[in-house]
Amino acid sequence: MACIIVGRPNSGKTSFLINFAAYLGLNSLKISVRRPQGYLANQTMTIARARSNLITCHSHTTRNLQSIKIVLPKGKRGKEIEIIDTCGLAEGIHPDREVRMGMAQTIEKILLCKMALHILDLSAIEKTTSTIDNELYQYLKNSVGYALLANKIDKEDALAKITHVRNTFSSVPVFPISALYSRGFKEVYRFVLAYY
Ligand SMILES: Nc1nc2c(ncn2[C@@H]2O[C@H](COP(=O)(O)OP(=O)(O)OP(=O)(O)O)[C@@H](O)[C@H]2O)c(=O)[nH]1
Ligand SMILES: [Mg+2]
């Protein structure tokens, strides 16, 4: 059963996927990309190549579901799970058709997954939380294994926003992380492990 990574564009979803895989000991990634036409394209790349090819500072870098498989230390043989990175969800109707298709792919996939990790960019939070983040929270909190990853804690003033995030999303676990510097991953790993 799969674990999906969701959130707004540029929140750090792909950084989390790649650096979490590295944290779990993978040296290279076999990435399966689900094209909107339905077929899967597989590519294998080193962690370093994945970082330089798949992460940018621009929104909507990821436009298709892209997943890797990892093995959790469960039972005699271990338990394989798929972790799926997604096209970020944003308000409004995006002018680019590929992005609209990507967002539709994300929404369609969410409830087919056993678990959802919702990445929130702390540096983008102001006084009110975004509509999309609230909608994801309302949609997911009672339906799948769900946690919020409050990302970019390495940035100035980010840690001070954690209490606000915990109050806003009060019925789910909130893990402060830095996807860039692989901080807070031990707690996320424990949460995933306990759920499977
Ligand atoms: N300072 C800091 N920057 C981060 C962190 N995580 C991600 N970033 C940066 O945020 C930007 C977006 O990261 P991505 O991993 O591509 O974000 P994404 O959610 O996959 O973005 P889209 O695919 O466009 O939706 C990049 O410039 C990353 O280096 C973090 O923990 N700290
Ligand atoms: Mg991405």
Rounded to the nearest angstrom, the distance between the alpha carbon of 75 and the centre of ligand 1 is 34
pLDDT 10s digits, 30-56:
999 988 778 899 999 999 999 999 999
pLDDT band at 90 (very low <50, low <70, confident <90, very high): very high
Query: How many Å is the maximal CA-CA distance in the chain?
Result: 49
User: Which atom of ligand 1 is the closest one to the Cα of 155?
Assistant: 1
User: Is 61 close to ligand 1, i.e. is its CB under 6 Å away?
Assistant: yes
In DSSP notation, 77-122 reads: T-EEEEEEE-PPP-SS--S-HHHHHHHHHHHHHHTTSSEEEEEEEG
Query: What domain count does the chain have?
Result: 1
Instruction: CATH number of the domain at 184, please.
Output: 3.40.50.300
Closest ligand by atom to 122 CA: 1
pLDDT 10s digits, 137-173:
999 998 879 999 999 999 999 999 999 999 999 999 9
Stated pTM of the model:
0.96
Give the per-residue pLDDT at 120.
96
- Cβ neighbours of residue 146 closer than 8 Å, sequence gap 6 or more: 115, 116, 117, 118, 140, 172
Question: Where in the sequence is the domain holding 153, given as residue range(s)?
Answer: 2-195
Tell which residue, 138, 94, 95, has the closest CA to residue 116.
Answer: 138
Closest ligand by atom to 12 CA: 1
